Amino acid sequence: MKTIGLRDNICAKSIKTTCGSKILDGFVSPYNATIVDKLNKANIEIRKVDIKEFGIEEDNFIEVAFEEKEIEAVIATDLDGEIARNSTNEKVGIKPTFGLVSRYGVITTSPSLEQVGVIGKDIQTLEEVLNIIKGYDNKDSGSVKDIEIEQSKNSELNIGYIEENNIINKLKGKKTKIDVKNLKYAIPTHYIISSAETSSNLARFDGIRYGYRTKNAKTWKEVYTKTRQEGFGYSVKKKMITGTFFLDVDNMQNYYMKAQKIRTLIKREMGKIFEQIDVLLVPNKKEYTCLANLTGRPAITTGEATFIGKHFDEETLINLVKGGVK
């Protein structure tokens, strides 16, 4: 029986789920996330893995998780390339296409960017776990039922790359140098959208229905304000305040709406790029890996190599890591 690590923002019935935050102190989930039901059905034991508060701070969670020898893979959320940054030291991680894995029961901060992925001790384990948890779920409005893989126009694998490196020279197939013109806008666009969505999503944690509630309030207004003041950490507060600024009626057009337009430009540019290539090799840095989140594309990382693929074409990425793609 395999043991799978489950990041602590994924609900498992009768198990404490805190997202690493005081605001959810003592919260025990009354239901399972869809992926937990699938793991249970496959007779796989789960073990919770710690997360820094809502995954907003940089978090090297994977090294701690794999210190337990029984754990063979970790299921985690990916907002801006966390899976890629944690898939080092011979581990393999994949952030699937947006909509391939259900997020029902996953406590997300930015639902249009965040996706559930897998980090495995090897590519075979990763593939096995991904096959268990993927699939349509009518409980998740973002889940995709009729999957269509972007068809390749190339007779052989065409690998695009942004920077010259030793990895590209070791790969088989045609190589094409790629210039992503809108790359410089990726991080600010991601930051504005993720901050705005975080501000909106975390507003539900108010101390009324579940989780932490202040003991220092005399009025209902104080319950709200002091609970959130005491329950959220600095990084979360900063993200929420910034997001509220971007969503303010006087600022929305200049920040949030423009960020959404730039996101569309990045999606279109990446779409044109992938008409010519099958996978894109990018450096394992946030400004590159967040392209996969902004565009909803799959990305796989092993060591320092990160490959972004075509929508729902995880098979090509997995085979590339296996060394089976010619």
User: Has residue 233 been placed in a domain?
Assistant: no
User: Has residue 258 been placed in a domain?
Assistant: no
User: Has residue 186 been placed in a domain?
Assistant: no
Average pLDDT of the residues of the chain: 92
Residue with tokens 């009768």: 14
**Average pLDDT value for residue range 271-297:** 95
pLDDT in tens, 12-29: 999 999 999 999 998 999
User: Has residue 215 been placed in a domain?
Assistant: no
Distance CA 53, CA 195 (A): 15
pLDDT in tens, 34-48: 999 999 999 999 999
pLDDT in tens, 160-182: 999 888 888 888 889 999 999 99
Helices (H), the chain: 34-41, 61-65, 82-86, 123-133, 166-170, 186-201, 220-231, 234-247, 256-273, 286-295, 314-322
Q: What is the pLDDT of residue 59?
A: 81
Q: Is 3 helix (H, G, I), strand (E, B) or coil?
A: strand
Does the pLDDT at position 325 exceed 60? no
User: Has residue 288 been placed in a domain?
Assistant: yes
Helices (H), 8-149: 34-41, 61-65, 82-86, 123-133
Does the pLDDT at position 1 exceed 60? no
Q: What is the pLDDT of residue 8?
A: 96
Q: What is the pLDDT of residue 326?
A: 41
Strands 92-95 and 115-120: antiparallel
**Average pLDDT value for residue range 118-129:** 95
Q: What is the pLDDT of residue 154?
A: 65
Does the pLDDT at position 324 exceed 60? no
Q: What is the pLDDT of residue 152?
A: 67
Q: What is the pLDDT of residue 101?
A: 98
What's the structural domain count of the chain? 1
User: Has residue 273 been placed in a domain?
Assistant: yes
Q: What is the pLDDT of residue 151?
A: 67
Does the pLDDT at position 127 exceed 70? yes
Does the pLDDT at position 10 exceed 90? yes
Q: What is the pLDDT of residue 257?
A: 97
CATH code: domain of residue 64? 3.90.1300.10
Q: Is 226 helix (H, G, I), strand (E, B) or coil?
A: helix
Task: Name the most confidently modeled range: 51-60, 69-78, 127-136, 315-324.
Answer: 127-136
149 versus 226: the higher-pLDDT residue is: 226
pLDDT in tens, 46-96: 999 999 999 998 888 877 787 777 899 999 999 999 999 998 777 899 999
**Average pLDDT value for residue range 121-143:** 95
**Burial (CB count within 10 angstroms: exposed 0-12, middle 13-18, buried 19+), residue 258:** middle
User: Has residue 240 been placed in a domain?
Assistant: no
Q: Quote the domain boundaries for residue 139.
A: 3-179+267-322
User: Has residue 88 been placed in a domain?
Assistant: yes
**What are the backbone dihedrals phi and psi of residue 106, each rounded to the nearest 5 degrees, phi first?**
-105, 125
pLDDT in tens, 207-259: 888 889 999 899 989 999 999 999 999 999 999 999 999 999 999 999 999 99
